[in-house]
Structure 1
Amino acid sequence: MRLLDLLDETYQSGEALARRLGVSRAAVSKEARRLLALGFPVEVGRRGYRVRPGTPLPHLFRPQGRLGSPYRYLGRVGSTQDVLRAWAEAGAPEGALVLAEVQEKGRGRRGRVWESRLGDSLTFSLLLRPALPLPSSGLLPLLAGLALWEAVGLGGLKWPNDLLAPDGRKLAGILLEAKAEGEELAYALLGVGVNVAWAPEGGAHLQEFGPYSRKEVLLGFLGRLEALLPLLEDPKTLLARYRQASCTLGRRVRVETPKGAVEGLAEEVLPDGSLLVGGVRVGAGEVAPLPLLE
């Protein structure tokens, strides 16, 4: 792993790296290939060695606030949510961040698989410990979606927090898993997956719309989330800002809920984060747009 600590976005020769590490060029080559096998986006070519541009290596990643530190940067894991949960149980502070280049068991809401690709996707989990009563915890997914929308400056939010491209294809998803203690949250695990330079079939990626990098998207999200967190104590302002980002409100939708489907006009997001559809309160479900009425 010492080699990874020396790499950056510019190519360095095997000879120069071997000299810095006090090993042979063959050892550098062997270590680079080992890192690739472990899931790290190391590029090897005629010009030498580097990491793929935009990679948030710890020595290249400098969050400006308290979110994003401490930071664990990993190669291949099962799920960043599982890694962070164990860390949270061991006492990790708010702001702890786990990022993995490859998730073999990455998941989205309702048990769906989240697909990603090495060096092209951004998959991470962030630990929050808000002093928040359980009835208000439904605002956290909205806040997270709003932070990502503001950081990216593109598309809109499908309730509660899927980021969609302007044409309606999915750019990113957010999964919130929480632990309660009494009437308050002990902690919340915010799992985020963003298609930056690649998307699974039917999805969209950010680089279709501009020169986005994984590192800058991550830094932007952490900064916007930290700035928005105080709005958990001001739901009226939070919901007003969320409405500006929403591409669900004002449309006819069908929501698949655990109790069955609900169809109607998406009228409002309520103070607890639930969605009002045709006069029916929906606390959780999968939203799909319906055709406009003739």
Structure 2
Amino acid sequence: MAGLLPLLTEAYQSGEALGKRLGVSRAAVAKEAKALKAEGFPVEVGRKGYRIQPGTPLPHLFHPRGRLGTPYRYLGRVGSTQDVLRAWAEEGAPEGALVLAEVQERGRGRQGRPWESRPGASLTFSLLLRPRLPLPALGLLPLLAGLALWEALGVGGLKWPNDLLAPDGRKLAGILLEAKAEGEEVAYALLGVGINAAWAPAGAAALAEFSPFSRREALEAFLERLEALLPLLEEPEALLQRYRRASYTLGRRVRVHTPRGPVEGVAEDLLPDGSLRVGGVRVGAGEVELLRPQD
């Protein structure tokens, strides 16, 4: 039986009622619910019956307010949403295609770091974009995505290029950009987003500490803001001006770990291609460490 998940709502339904709709026994409903939970889907079982955890972005409960977020694949346990979406992109998926998984067994962040998540408590998804961008402008896309996340959630600030930090500096969310080039242009870009929604690894922050947003509301808000901001790729200075207001990096002493070694100094400004100027040095890529005054 593969039809239980589309019938679940945020209200409890009895096993008898669900069984009648599916033409199966209550025991079969219980067995399927157990299998769905094993796959990572946040199915809740109680004395009143079965429901999906409130705020879950099930396809029939998820309502994107624009063109981003459709078509949509909601999955349980996968290796990585980036890998699933890349294969879909190669098959010709349109811009806006979205893959969300409750469990990523090989989830990854920037610099190849693993991204931890928990079913029903984390929000991990990948979005396909097909921007008409020359390769030199690709560095603006992570900044724009980070800005969209900050504006959507209304919490904290951004650590360059696109980590969302809580007001106390703990990491709340991150974005991984992977792209394919064709000639001198971007063929497509995969935005992998991880948000600590109701749970966070040690030392990180959860959105629930600062916001009443459910996972579904956070996803819908991000997609709406990203779509609204995409035209700013054609206006780099307007994008950078808006990003500066969200930055927790600019004006701070930082240490950036780059492929060529660390660069340390004051994060002075953003350059037109989205890179960071630190102590007079241009930094195009690297992991930023925000330094305390005594460091």
Residue equivalent to 2:108: 107
Residue 250 of structure 2 aligns to a residue whose secondary structure is coil
1:179-232 Cα shifts (integer Å, max 9, x gaps): 000000000000000000000000000111121210000000000000000000
- For 2:108 and 2:169, the matched residues in 1 are separated by 21
Amino acid corresponding to residue 221 of structure 1 in structure 2? F
Report 1:165-184 matches (<5 A).
Answer: 165-184=166-185
Residue equivalent to 1:162: 163
- For 1:276 and 1:292, the matched residues in 2 are separated by 19
Residue 57 of structure 1 aligns to a residue whose secondary structure is coil
- For 2:117 and 2:294, the matched residues in 1 are separated by 37
Amino acid corresponding to residue 155 of structure 1 in structure 2? G
1:109-165 Cα shifts (integer Å, max 9, x gaps): 011000000100000000000000000000000000000000000100000000000
Residue equivalent to 1:187: 188
Q: Which runs of 5+ in 1 are unaligned?
A: none
Residue equivalent to 2:12: 11
Report 1:86-235 matches (<5 A).
Answer: 86-235=87-236
1:160-180 Cα shifts (integer Å, max 9, x gaps): 000000000000000000000
- For 2:18 and 2:221, the matched residues in 1 are separated by 32
Amino acid corresponding to residue 196 of structure 1 in structure 2? A
Q: 1:292: how far off? A: 2.2
Q: 1:293: how far off? A: 6.4
Q: How many residues align?
A: 294
Residue equivalent to 1:39: 40
Residue equivalent to 1:253: 254
TM-score (norm 2): 0.98
TM-score (norm 1): 0.99
Q: Which runs of 5+ in 2 are unaligned?
A: none
- For 2:216 and 2:64, the matched residues in 1 are separated by 10
- For 2:19 and 2:220, the matched residues in 1 are separated by 32
CA RMSD in angstroms comes to 0.9
Q: 1:20: how far off? A: 1.1
**Structure 1 residue ranges, 4+ long, deviating more than 6 angstroms after superposition:** none
